[in-house]
Structure 1
Amino acid sequence: MTIDVRALDPADWDAWYGVLEWAFGGLPESTEERALWRGLTEPERSLAAWDGERIVGSYGLFTFELAVPGGAVVPTGGVTMVSVAATHRRRGLLRRMMARGLEDVRAAGEPLAVLTASEAGIYGRFGFGVASRGMSARIDADRVAIARPPGADALRLRVVEPEAELARCEELYHRLVPGRPGMLRRRPGWERLALLDPKQDREGASARQCVLAERADGELVGYARYALKPEWAGQVPAGTVLVRDLDAAEPAAYAALLDFLRNIDLMSTVSLRARPLDDPLTHLVSDVRRCDLRVEDRLYLRPVEVGAALAARAYATEVDVVFEVADAFCPWNEGRWRLSGGPKGAVCERTSDPADLALSVRELGAAYLGGASLAELARAGLVTELRQGALDAASVAFSHPLAPWLPHGF
């Protein structure tokens, strides 16, 4: 039977989302969680694959803006809620939905598409490269001290219900977005994601709390959302502080918040996930070996319009390079592109000039935010230097002082 792929009718959302739940293990989500994702779903940008009267595939897009090197915040399509029923695998259904979705991104004038991957091996064939990685840590709170830089002792820390100060925390988050490549500027409604805390998913932890770091005049300069998971090793407390969010506008606030989390009574471990690779904690802790640091892939990115994407960011140094780009999935990107620019901006246009570097759009996506260098990719055989010296110059130009960071999934 022919499978029909069409825009999601809001009336079919429950069935559509149910297919997604089954694809991710079949455990039903809480009413609270389903309500949140229903409110965030953009039906006009979502696809349902129908086999007769049954939905057998799902695909969604979120409307985001992504911070890129130079401080610009660029319109971006967030690919999400992708699934194919086990009965309909290997029929090209994912390819059909992805092709249509990326055409939607292009038509919307969004030069970039991003996603987070449940399985790392799926999306490279569609041109997505790993553009940012995250770090997790489990700090041994009993044996690790936190350095407190100047100003930390002058801040007031205050524990509140997360919803009570949600608007102020979201405003601080939005102020931080342009300064860190990879962060998402979110549409209204996304702030509720930070409050999602269904009891069935706590696994023995407490309800979430929020600690604020404020100046004497009341200005908010940082916050952390966390839960406590009490445990005992015999008669010895061995609980864990589960940190959900930690955002700070200055080093003193970050250190004060981290030190607060380390000193909570009856807790022997502080667990943080999805932190940037250059997170300050690695320099603030007294013993980094007792922090169990691990790295994972986070944000996958692909330029949907190569020229517009490369022109949307700034570059660390002046650059003039011609790329020979391969992109079989979005063939309008194939060919040679001249990138000229620097710290104040750039232009990127088609050219017939000889190419300096040859690569696929996936490698452009990996290097776009500065998370992977073009030279690093060349050492893996994924970028070819065609003009001597072009690789080093372009690698430096694409770099950024801060590691790209995606604070939360979508």
Structure 2
Amino acid sequence: MEIRPITRDELAVWDRSISRGFLRPHVAPATEWREIQFEPGRMQAAFDHRDPTPEGPRCVATFRSFDAELTVPGGARLPVDAVTGVTVNSTHTRRGLLSGMMRRDLAAARERGLPAAILIAAEYNIYGRFGFGPATRSTGWRVDVLRARGLRAGLPVHDGHRIDFVTLEEVRKLGPELYERWRPTQPGAIGRPEHWWRVRTGDLDLPGFEWKEGFTALHRTADGTVTGLINYTVDEKFDGAYPDCPLNVRDFLALDQQTANALWKLAFSVDWVRHVVVPSLRPDDPLPLLLNDPRGARPHEDDSDFTWLRLLDLPAAFAARRYTAPGRLVLDVTDPEGWTSGRWALETAADGTGRTTPTEDAADLALGVGALGTLFQGADTATRLAAAAMVAELTPGAAGRADTLLRPERTPWNPDSF
């Protein structure tokens, strides 16, 4: 077995291996997509040199990473190593291939000075052993429009606002600027590169990505400023002679609640629509409370942890985010690689700034670096993790104090796969 970065000439075999690893051998080659993604040294593979094919040794595992920016509590963008495209063909599991690729990539990220790494876990039990912990959650809703009886009357909206359907060209022009204004408001959000917008507006074909043109509407305030976007599709479905169509929300951005109210009013007023399906929203989004009967909204079946975070440099990461209260907490951290192990004093000030420094003081909380990643973004509370025996409270009341310091104004959420 050989683990190494691939060359551009090996993109085709890497692409076929990733399709096998994701159980989609029927998908056509994604040649243009892989060319766009290629960055020397950032696409790894494992090659089996036994019984080679005419093209060379068999590619049996894949791994890719790229530099990204993660919004942290307070709005700062933390540079991170984004890990994706991780597969091991079923013929070659349990041979340390994933471990070899992951450790090589994380070590290289630390050498580049990145404070953290992120990924989206297909399975819960894989990545904790590498120091990752759940850092965002995806919470969605299925709303029965008749049972919910629509939105409550009188919800505040912008005076003189307007909502218009726009063309795909307009989405590619105006969408990125809106997203860049929205991103600092949402902990857990990551960037959307140009090719993200191209794929989702049909300008770039990605085999295996089932795209169809939907409806995209932009919200503008009275002065013409774009403050929101909704993208949805409607499936034509009838129950006998009665319309029974689901409206599927694919993207929803709103810079303020007044904009969100107006966009939701549009979604709930479309003729023939019986269900509004929102697969992913911020966990504390108030959508159900906007309805006349919140019981008409039931949780979407895809509710789950989503983005996972691996801290690599505690002083750099904790200095980047903001804090809700002044205080001091000593953390005893364990790390499978030893990179963040030790006792650290987290000190936060009244102005929202904070820092972590090594200390010999007695610890208040003991936890693994994965659990610390969860607390860093505010995806869960130390009190809850302590109750689940995922954090050890060494000083009475320390978990509650940690929650006071680390609680973000908005629950972290990432609307995008990568």
Fold equivalence (TM over 0.5): yes
Change (3 A) 1:124 1:263: same
Q: What are the within-5 Å matches in structure 2 for residues 49-60 of structure 1?
A: 49-52=46-49, 53-60=57-64
Q: Distance in 2 between matches of 1:346 and 1:187?
A: 31
Per-residue CA deviations over 1:329-350 (Å, capped at 9, x if unaligned) read: x212111111112343222122
Give the partner amino acid of 1:146.
L
Give the partner amino acid of 2:151.
I
Change (3 A) 1:276 1:315: same
Matched residue SS, 2:173:
helix
1:48 and 2:54 aligned: no
Q: Which residue of 266, 271, 283 maps to 1:265?
A: 271
Q: What are the within-5 Å matches in structure 2 for residues 146-225 of structure 1?
A: 146-147=151-152, 149-152=155-158, 154-196=160-202, 207-225=213-231
* TM-score normalised according to structure 1 size: 0.93
Counterpart of 2:339 in structure 1 is 332
Q: Distance in 1 between matches of 2:127 and 2:207?
A: 31
Structure 1: unaligned runs, 5 residues or longer: none
Note the C-alpha offset of 1:186: 3.9
Q: Distance in 2 between matches of 1:140 and 1:272?
A: 12
Matched residue SS, 1:397:
helix
Q: Distance in 2 between matches of 1:173 and 1:157?
A: 17
Counterpart of 1:105 in structure 2 is 109
* TM-score normalised according to structure 2 size: 0.91
Q: What are the within-5 Å matches in structure 2 for residues 218-237 of structure 1?
A: 218-237=224-243
1:81 and 2:81 aligned: no
Change (3 A) 1:158 1:201: farther
Counterpart of 2:353 in structure 1 is 345
Change (3 A) 1:231 1:62: same
% identity of equivalent residues? 33
For the 8 Å contact 1:45–1:104, the answer to whether it is kept is no
Note the C-alpha offset of 1:50: 1.1
Give the partner amino acid of 1:212.
L
Matched residue SS, 2:41:
helix
Q: Distance in 1 between matches of 2:34 and 2:415?
A: 18
Q: Distance in 1 between matches of 2:341 and 2:289?
A: 43
For the 8 Å contact 1:45–1:61, the answer to whether it is kept is yes
Note the C-alpha offset of 1:84: 0.6
Matched residue SS, 1:185:
coil
Per-residue CA deviations over 1:213-263 (Å, capped at 9, x if unaligned) read: 112332111111111211111111111111110001121211111121122
Q: Distance in 1 between matches of 2:124 and 2:173?
A: 34
* RMSD of aligned alpha carbons: 2.2
Change (3 A) 1:346 1:199: closer
Note the C-alpha offset of 1:81: 0.3
Counterpart of 1:133 in structure 2 is 137
Q: Distance in 2 between matches of 1:199 and 1:395?
A: 42
Q: Distance in 1 between matches of 2:280 and 2:34?
A: 21
Instruction: List structure 1 runs of 4+ shifted beyond 6 angstroms.
Output: 197-203
Q: Distance in 1 between matches of 2:146 and 2:157?
A: 24
Change (3 A) 1:163 1:138: farther
Q: Distance in 2 between matches of 1:272 and 1:324?
A: 40
Q: Which residue of 11, 23, 46 maps to 1:13?
A: 11
Counterpart of 2:245 in structure 1 is 239
For the 8 Å contact 1:176–1:249, the answer to whether it is kept is yes
For the 8 Å contact 2:199–2:205, the answer to whether it is kept is no
1:399 and 2:407 aligned: yes
Structure 2: unaligned runs, 5 residues or longer: 50-56
Q: Distance in 2 between matches of 1:377 and 1:233?
A: 46
Q: Distance in 2 between matches of 1:199 and 1:361?
A: 36
Q: Which residue of 284, 289, 293 maps to 1:287?
A: 293
